[in-house]
Amino acid sequence: MSENNSFYTSERIFEGAEKLLEIWFGPTSGSIPDISSEFDNNRPLRNGLRLVERDVWDEMLDIVKCQVLNVVHNDYFDAYLLSESSMFIYPHKIILKTCGTTTLLIAIHRLLEIASEYCQLNKVWRVFYSRKSFVFPEAQLGPHKDWNEEVKFLDQLLDNGAAYTVGKSNGDHCWFLWLNSPQNDILLTELESAHPLDETGSDFQDITIEILMTELSSETLNKFYHNPSEGESGTQGGARIDRKTGLCDIYPEAQLDSYLYEPCGYSANGLLRDNYFNIHVTPERNCSYASFETNIPVGHGTIADVIHKVIAIFKPEKFSVTVFKTREDNDNKKLLVVSVDDINGYSRKDRILYEFEDYDLIFAQFEREKNFA
């Protein structure tokens, strides 16, 4: 999606599939940041990682090979729109998502240094790294050429990692995941005690929903090309696309920061209190791709609603859904499974449920039914 180096010609090939890294830091006893602030909605604070200066992030993003296009803030976090996707900075958590041939993993070492050096965040609590299978793996750089190399890289840098190849490995919608198991449960206890039980009696919750779509309909693709007769590209063009496509209606109450690239391509960050979503579109016909990701909590029934809304906009031939969720009780699993039940017009090729230590993951892959073409 980068204006700088990706869209030389309108039908250049581009690897839309993103690398997604999420790092949670634990509190350091006696250190400045107070982790409870992140979870108490009455005391949003610009502290921890949010205090790190912009030039420090810029220099870290140089390692990744991407640049900041725009930044918006709310009381809870900072949302960076990048030349290749998104970055969300919370006081004790960073989400960094980059596409194309960026070298995200190479920057982890510097990222941990920054957390330690500027915020005394020395304890890595949770790390998640995931991505879809690449369409052009040979174009990738460093460890990103091969999943096994990425796993080796992460295993050398971080403790207690578990790597999973989720879905059909000889298909085009395989999904890879590396996650650690936190060694120190004390951190979890601190987090939980800092986050009082909500009205339903459940405690600390975390969810990530991802919808990764390929072979979008031609009609959809056209909407993500810049047509100078309609107005400017950039953030103004992004806002126009939000309305034209209906993307602004997925979470109508959210603050949106969207961007239309030249000659085509689109990115958006959404902010909704302490939660985010992001959408990235690669509309080149020969490698079309769109992704939607959010950590906005939903009732179980509404996971399916979110999927339906997103699919209706992009009309892909194929898509995969992953829902990653902290385990609440045994019903959780059943509801997760049901949330990726039938999608009208699509047949489900795979459904896989993973039970990790504290999280459940459901993965499902869908393909358009022939008679709905």
Catalytic residues: 85, 99, 267, 280
DSSP assignment of 249-282: GSSTTSEEEEEE-SSB-EEEEEEETTEEEEEEEE
Nearer to a copy of itself, 277 or 359 (CB): 359
- List Cβ neighbours of 27 (8 Å cut-off, separation of 6 or more): 33, 34, 35, 92, 123, 187, 190
What residues make contact with a copy of itself under the rule CB under 8 A?
148, 151, 155, 161-165, 167-171, 333-334, 337, 350-356
Distance CA 348, CA 330 (A): 24
Burial 1-12 (b: 16+ CB within 10 A, else e): bbbeebbeeeee
Nearer to a copy of itself, 155 or 203 (CB): 155
DSSP state of 35: G
Nearer to a copy of itself, 163 or 194 (CB): 163
Instruction: Give least dist CB 173 to a copy of itself, A.
Output: 11
Instruction: Give least dist CB 355 to a copy of itself, A.
Output: 4
Nearer to a copy of itself, 167 or 182 (CB): 167
User: Measuring CA to CA, which residue among 24, 27, 158, 36 is closest to residue 90?
Assistant: 24
Instruction: Give least dist CB 15 to a copy of itself, A.
Output: 20
DSSP three-state, residue 155: helix
Nearer to a copy of itself, 216 or 362 (CB): 362
Instruction: Give least dist CB 364 to a copy of itself, A.
Output: 9
Instruction: Give least dist CB 95 to a copy of itself, A.
Output: 23
State whether the Cα torsion 227-232-237-241 is positive or negative. negative
* Cβ neighbours around 310 below 10 Å, total: 23
